[in-house]
Amino acid sequence: MNRKSIGYALVTGFFLAFALIIYGAYSPARKAQKQRIVCVKFKKGVENQAVEQHMHGFAALKHEIPQIVNYSSGRTILPNGAVSDYDVMHYLTFQSEDDILAYEKSEAYRQFIERNKGIWEKTLVVNADIRP
């Protein structure tokens, strides 16, 4: 191979490597198609520390269960000082209904339920499509 061909090969190789890096950095994220809202009412007298452990434990599921595309949570807010039926809300998104089922069957989710169900008075779970 002559010197000119090697130069062209190196330039082409660097260009391809650069293109792959750029593609990886800007490739679209997984698109969520399904959503789940989980509302929780805690039993009277549950300490704030237990509520915070519940919130952190639920948030940790995003890192343990790959089917969860996105997660957010917060305490419920009602206008005009009204009383809420639930104390906190968790919002999760998934790509498919099969992903929701896999999430429900995961060991991490089951362990979370076992650790926290004793402080819950009631829960409400709503699944829905995400409209474009």
pLDDT recorded at residue 25: 62
Fold of 34-129: Alpha-Beta Plaits (3.30.70)
Give the orientation angle of helix 97-105 with respect to helix 107-116, to 10 degrees. Answer: 60
pLDDT recorded at residue 18: 74
Residues of the chain predicted below pLDDT 70: 1, 23-30
pLDDT recorded at residue 125: 97
